[in-house]
Structure 1
Amino acid sequence: MSGAGGSGGARNSPPKGNASYGHKEFKRSKSHFADRITADGRDGWPVEAGRYRLVVSRACPWAGRALIARRLLGLESAVSLAVTDPIQDDRSWRFTLDPDDRDPVLGIRFLSEAYEARETGYPGGVSVPALVDVPSGKLVTNDFQQITLDFATEWTALHREGAPDLYPEPLRDEIDTVVEGVYRDVNNGVYRAGFAADQRAYEEACRDVFRRLELTSERLSGRRYLVGDTLTEADIRLFCTLVRFDAVYHGHFKCNRWKLAEDPVLWAYARDLFQTPGFGDTIDFDHIKRHYYHVHEGINPTGIVPLGPDLDGWLTPHHREELVGRPFGDGTAPGPVPSGEEVPPSGRP
């Protein structure tokens, strides 16, 4: 897609620079800037409190992962946050939510300026999430697959007391296996369906989406979380697609065999996570809907944003606490959302 989904590009097209087509099928490319911020600084970017700024769009599911991990791990004071306007233009993600239309820390009007500072004449898409080095103004990484894993494993010295282990070593093989299928068929599958260029490609992608959702529903029918008995990276990755499913993917991307709210297990699971501190308090449904329905002019040329669905259901009882599982294990829930990072009432149920 244009902009969200770890990508960026023209308003009328799917992700430029982060996607390609073969036989009219949508394929997401690897992140161009894959440097890592690590405890030992082996890529030249050491973990350091206050040095890096996380740039996100609350519309973007891939950026949503980084928002949730940052909250759960208590990295808010260590990694500052920049939230872009949900509607980007051909110059990329804009900081029009800030005074003078500039990010107050980086001093830039468009995220593309950080990309240009890193690589002059960079020709690709400008994507979120992005970690930017504040002193130099240069992009460090836009590797949405790795950022959250590094938050969990490389930033441990700066985690809050009671932070959960989102990528526990004994479960990593199982987590990797689960998230591989979820990524291929669900996270990226909805885009393959939404941007399919012919009927065959669409039907194949749509079937993959619902086949994986049905398998995942079966997996979650007797367990509270996807892997182990606590929250992990796997839950974060699935949630970021599920929370957008009925609002945009069901109609906008034609993933309409059934709604999330029509699957009792997945709907309860998604509500359980939404009501868990660190998940729902990062979600802005207004940003989500306005981005998808405004930016994808090729899919929705009128730019009309639908009124529904009703969001009140997200706050209804889910009863998943009756299953075995503790969200934070031996740890604790994150504290209140930091001042200035709250989702406005227009984006909340």
Structure 2
Amino acid sequence: PLVAACGVKVPMVSGRGLGHTGGTLDKLESIPGFSVRLPLDEYARVVEKVGVCMIGQTEELAPADRKIYSLRDATACVPSIPLIASSIMSKKLAEGIDALVLDVKVGTGAFMPTEEKAEQLARTLVEIGRRAGKKVTAFLTRMDDPLGVAVGNACEVIESIEVLRGGGPEDIRELTLLMASHMLVMGGVSPDLAAARERCLVALGDGSAIQKFKELISAQGGNPEAVDHVELFAQAAHHTTVRATRSGIVQSVNSTAIGMAGVVLGAGRRQVSDPVDPAVSLFIRKKIGDTVAAGEVLVDVHYNDDRGLTDALERLQGAYVIDDAPVARKPLVLKTIQS
């Protein structure tokens, strides 16, 4: 929505949650009434009218990917670079794009745990795009602890709303501005990255970015009132916390363990057929390098079904390593690869 508000059309075809990672479609469907199942002609109409449309695979758009996507988790092929690259780029090329900006995650919460593997994936994606005649930029970004504060579906959309209003967690805000700026330059509406960043900041500040999100929601059958009234999103019935067992400095956070804690509570899927609970929310209160006191809250947990609660709490507690040594924070963006 931010990029569309700045004058670049953004067609987007996304996927669902797979393994410990969340899916864009699941998050969008937490918006009351929002439909990601649009026919191709309607998809094109929304892109033309609103400037952005976000849907899933259809019988017309990357149909084979939908079947392969379902099989990857069941056949232990989630981290396969050829399958990841083909899945991502089949959707991206089917969108009708001229240029593409990609965020390739690396770290404990990513499919690619090492920078070497992440760079291999990024270069594969960029090369596929180059061979298809597209301009592609890929960022390798750190995911050794979760990006932002919220982990879940509805809660992450609400966090995105905060960013589109000009606020939100600093790391998400900066990554959003970086990627959006590159999209504006590659889309030909800004002469350079500095001008593009300023244009994005104006859109965040004057309300045009959040207004564009409301237009998108309305165009895809959702209730735009949810943007101003987040209580319209699904709310979890229960709340508990995970607390530090000792004082010190957070040395590491296992983002995969945090993601799987969300899965066992219902925020994600163990199997393709599993339903997703949009209300399940984890709020990360301490990240790598933060000082923490014994008994201080590490994670706020909001849930409905307590059948997976013990398992989830154990995973969350075990995700944190706390010691006395100071920790140097790594930069968010590790490398940029361009076609």
Fold similarity call, TM over 0.5: no
| TM-score, with structure 1 as normaliser | 0.29
Q: Which has the higher helix share?
A: 2
| TM-score, with structure 2 as normaliser | 0.30
Q: Which has the higher strand share?
A: 2
